[in-house]
Amino acid sequence: LFIIFHGKTEVNMAISKEAIKKALKKQTLKTSDKERTRAAELTLRESIYPLVLVTLLFFLWGFSYGLLDTLNKHFQNTLGISKSRSSGLQAAYFGAYPLASLGHANWILRHYGYKAVFIWGLCLYGVGALLAWPCILHRSFGGFCAAIFVIGNGLGSLETAANPYITVCGPPRFAEIRINLSQAFNGVGTVVAPVLGSYVFFNKTGDDPQALKNVQWVYLAIGCFTFALAVVFYFSPIPEITDADMAFQAEETHASTDVLPFRKQYRLFHAAFAQFCYTGAQVAIATYFINYVTETRLGTRSAAGAKFLAGAQGAFSTGRFAGVLLMKYIRPRWVFLVYLTACIIFIAPSITQRGNTGMSMLYMTLFFESIIFPTIVALGMRGLGKYTKRGSGWVIAGVSGGACVPALLGRVADVHDTALAMVVPLMFFVAAWSYALCVNFVPAYRDIVDSVQTAEIGIVHPDLGGDEEKANDSVLEKGDVQEKE
């Protein structure tokens, strides 16, 4: 037993030393798109590490987004600005997305790869967080909007790479489940931020200007953490996904549409339109949720409204986990249609109802909003093959709806009230609904989406023709033989 234990210890030490050497050797951030890396054929077990690492990013931008919604109402109170002007935060944040997804981030993605974009996005996020610190300290709304614009560029870069990476990294038939599960942790971040805002920042100071100064330390911590995470990504051996990998996956699933020129990828552009409408509606509701509660529920202060927002974001996160469970047994496109239809059904009564009834309608709306964004990403990119990287930029550019719709809702709320202004997200939900109908009832959309449901990539190992467990056992056995040799 001592000999066996001692021998295994030596082997483990040797493996550890080798791993350290590999980690410290010169890293490369550029991979040829013409070469296949087998990243698109990863099994469930092989994809766990890169998925966990990338899921950390989802939590980061969920936290940033949730904190922004909390700050919106407090900027109105402490700086005396109107609802429509306070939407400048969302305009700066989401307006940066197309600049990243169709501009610098997409260029880096196509010329270098996913890992380079992850690092680039984290660095921009860190710079923006550090810039926010002095702006909050001096109560400069314009300066803070500029810092948020830099943060939006960073998060737009991360989303441009992370969303398609999650959908591709692993068996294609589970793409919708993977991205919704990762996005569920984004929802956790949106819950934590309002809780932090209501219980830590604004609990005692309320709407006092001193409350905003408390936020500066969070942005300082975020800046330091994101720079540290960028270093982790630099040294992490996550698999790179190339155009050749994507073309192979599309051909193997019989869902390839890349034989058509990019300008004729109509399904992609419809998905981007739906993303614009849906994201605009989602962001508008979350942005003015606290306003809605304080206006329609008598005696409710902003701090209490932030707590109710945290509860609503909790419903949002719960909806994502529930959606993931449903997608295991029901086709994702059907779950998508039901959830988006429910959003329309529940947002409509919030226009006329008041008090707890109206607020509960918004709670239900947020619950059913949960899976829509990631599912549009997964369905919209289905079958793009070599156009996947370019296509992801268009779908993520749809997030810019979050820069436009809140301003429209804010304008209506200034003229009338926030409850009546909920007619704005209702109209945009209906527009996004057109994509859900097409995916389920138009064969040109539906057939491509359904073709991956029988795909064996990542389920049946390419070398063994067996299932994933046998494949992984074989890999382990090969490793044991090599260690013995």
Query: What is the separation of C-alpha 452 from the centre of its chain, rounded to a whole number of angstroms?
Result: 22
DSSP for 399-454 reads: GGHHHHHHHHHHHHHHHS-HHHHTHHHHHHHHHHHHHHHHHHH-HHHHHHHHGGGG
Number of helices and strands in the chain (H, E): 22, 0
**What's the pLDDT score for residue 366?**
93
Tens digits of residue pLDDT in 28-58: 666 655 666 666 666 777 778 888 888 888 8
For residue 460, what is the DSSP state? B
For residue 26, what is the DSSP state? P
> CB burial class (10 A; 0-12, 13-18, 19+) of residue 138?
exposed
Cα separation of the two ends of the chain: 20
Taking each helix axis from N to C terminus, what angle separates 266-287 and 401-415, rounded to the nearest 10 degrees?
40
Widest distance between CA atoms in the chain? 81
In the chain, the domains with their CATH numbers are 33-465 (1.20.1250.20)
Q: Which of 239, 209, 177 is nearest to 78 (CA)?
A: 209
Side-chain half-sphere CA neighbours of 431 within 13 A: 20
**What's the pLDDT score for residue 149?**
92
CA-to-CA distance for 280 and 398, rounded, in angstroms?
9
Asked whether 317 and 193 are in contact (CB, 8 A), the reply is no
Give me Rg for the CA atoms of the chain. 23
Q: Which of 46, 383, 50, 430 is nearest to 247 (CA)?
A: 383
CA-to-CA distance for 145 and 157, rounded, in angstroms?
18
Helix (H), strand (E) at residue 477: helix 468-484
Q: Which tokens in the block code for residue 49?
A: 């590490």
Tens digits of residue pLDDT in 181-226: 888 887 777 777 767 766 666 655 455 556 666 677 778 888 888 8
Asked whether 350 and 418 are in contact (CB, 8 A), the reply is no
75: left (phi over 0), alpha (psi -120 to 50) or beta: alpha
CA-to-CA distance for 306 and 301, rounded, in angstroms?
9
Query: 460 pairs with which residues across the strands?
Result: 457, 467
Q: Which tokens in the block code for residue 15?
A: 């493996």
Length of the chain, in residues: 485
**What's the pLDDT score for residue 15?**
43
CA-to-CA distance for 161 and 176, rounded, in angstroms?
16
Tens digits of residue pLDDT in 322-357: 988 898 888 889 999 999 999 999 999 999 888 889
Q: Which tokens in the block code for residue 349?
A: 């009564």
pLDDT beneath 50, residues of the chain? 1-5, 8-9, 11-16, 19-20, 22-24, 205, 464-485
Contacts of residue 198, defined as CB under 8 A and 6 or more positions apart, other chains included, come to 70, 303, 304, 306, 307, 310
CA-to-CA distance for 165 and 30, rounded, in angstroms?
16
Give the global pTM. Answer: 0.74
Dihedral sign, CA of 327, 166, 344, 356?
A: positive
